[in-house]
Structure 1
Amino acid sequence: MKIYVDFDDCLCETARAFTVIAERLFGKKVPYEDVRFFNLKSSFDLTDEEYEKMMIEGHLPEILLSYEETPGASEVLNAWIDQGHEVSIITGRPASSYEHSRKWLDQHGLDRARLFTLNKYGRDSFIKNSEFNLELEDYYKMKFDFAVEDSPMAFRFFDHMPDLKIMVFDRPWNRECEFPNKNYTRCPDWEYIKEKVNEK
């Protein structure tokens, strides 16, 4: 079985960290449950300049390595790998963050999971012909049986896989979105995701 897993807000608590960063940099105090938009510029009501500054801060090596693991994530992924399943972490983080993203995974016991960067949101410049950076044409040749994703903006990347089962990690910014079809299941935590995948 092949499993796609998103990084931010599936494996680690990125948005929670950004609530702290936004308050520290700009005095913007937005409780986590009020982060209603995947676009953090809108959630924190930032100018273009502020948003850019916040994203640079949030991708500094020491900040990337400080993100808290989402409870149960590494345990479930390692159980899948132990069972012989192929786990690919496909992140929308910029390719420049690969090294420290890989280090975070290794530090959290996920050294056997493959990591790829994919320009999901049109905000990265590609590193051509790398082993870890996927261009869209490469990604669309890949097939998965299950996906774990939190961002409604990423759902379009699953359109070429009509049989894919998508586990949507419940977050404030996806609670009001309509799922494209019955293949999408809202999941409150990793234990629930594990149970749903085992059922199928």
Structure 2
Amino acid sequence: MKIYVDFDDCLCETAKSFSDLVVGLFDIHVPYDNMKYFNLQKTFSLTDEQYEHMMIEGHKPEVLLSYDETPGASTTINSWIDKGIDVSIITGRPASAYEPSRQWLDEHNLERVNLFCLDKYGRDNFIKGSSFTLKLEDYYKMHFDYAVEDSPMAFGFFSHLPELKVLVYDRPWNRDCEFPEGDFRRCNDWETIRNIVG
């Protein structure tokens, strides 16, 4: 069995950290529960300049390393690996964030998972020849039985896998979205995800 797991807001509480970050940067207060859009520029009503500044600050190594783990994530993933399940973290973070992201995983007892950077959102410059960046054509050759994802913008990356079971981690920005055709199930926590996968 092979499982795809997204990083931000599946493994760690990125949006909650960004909510705090924009308070410090711009004195803009948008509580986590009011973050209705995956697009953070829209969520926080930022100018292009503010958005770029926020993204630079939010991807600094010390900030990436400070994100809290989503409760139950590492325990569940390690239980899968112990059963022989192949788990890959497929993140939309820029490739420049790979090293601190890898360090975060290692510090949260997820040394055994593979980490790949995939330009899901058209934000990244691909690093040629690296072992951790995926071109879209290479990603589309991969097979997964389950996917854990929170972003409605990423759901389109599953259309090539008609048998895939997508476990949508419940977040404010995906509560009003319509799921594409296929097997999409909303999950409120990692315990629910673990019970579904087995």
Indicate the TM-score class for this superposition, using the shorter chain for normalisation: over 0.9
CA distance in 2, matches of 1:50, 1:148: 30
Residue 130 (structure 2) aligns with: 130
Distance 1:18 1:182 in 2: 31
Distance in structure 1 (CA, Å) of the matches to 2:88 and 2:194: 16
Root-mean-square deviation (CA, aligned residues, Å) is: 0.5
Is 1:151 the counterpart of 2:151 in the alignment?
yes
Give the corresponding residue for 1:59: 59
Describe the SS at the equivalent of 2:103: helix
Instruction: Give 2:176's aligned residue.
Output: 176
Rounded Cα–Cα distance in structure 2 between residues aligned with 1:111 and 1:50: 35
In the superposition, the TM-score normalised over structure 2's length comes to: 0.99
Question: Which residue number in structure 1 is paired with residue 186 of structure 2?
Answer: 186
What's the secondary structure of 1:96's corresponding residue? helix
Q: Following TM superposition, where does structure 1 have runs of at least 4 consecutive aligned residues deviating by more than 4 angstroms?
A: none
Structure 1 match to 2:69 = 69
**Aligned length, in residue pairs:** 198
Matches within 5 A, 1:1-200: 1-198=1-198
Residue identity (%): 66
Unaligned runs of 5+ in 1: none
Partner SS state of residue 76, structure 1: helix
Paired with 1:121 and 1:156, the residues of 2 have a C-alpha distance of 11
Q: CA–CA distance in 2 between the matches of 1:159 and 1:130? A: 26
Deviations 1:13-37 (A, max 9, x none): 0000000000000000001000000
* CA deviation vs aligned residue, 1:87-111 (integer Å, no higher than 9, x gap): 0000000000000000000000000
Q: What TM-score do you get using the length of structure 1 for normalisation? A: 0.98
In the alignment, structure 2 segments of 5+ residues that lack a partner are none
Counterpart Cα distance in 2 of 1:3 and 1:129? 24
The superposition leaves residues 87-141 of structure 1 with CA deviations (integer Å, 9 ceiling, x where unpaired) of 0000000000000000000000000000000000000000012100000010000
Deviation at 1:181, TM superposition (A): 2.5
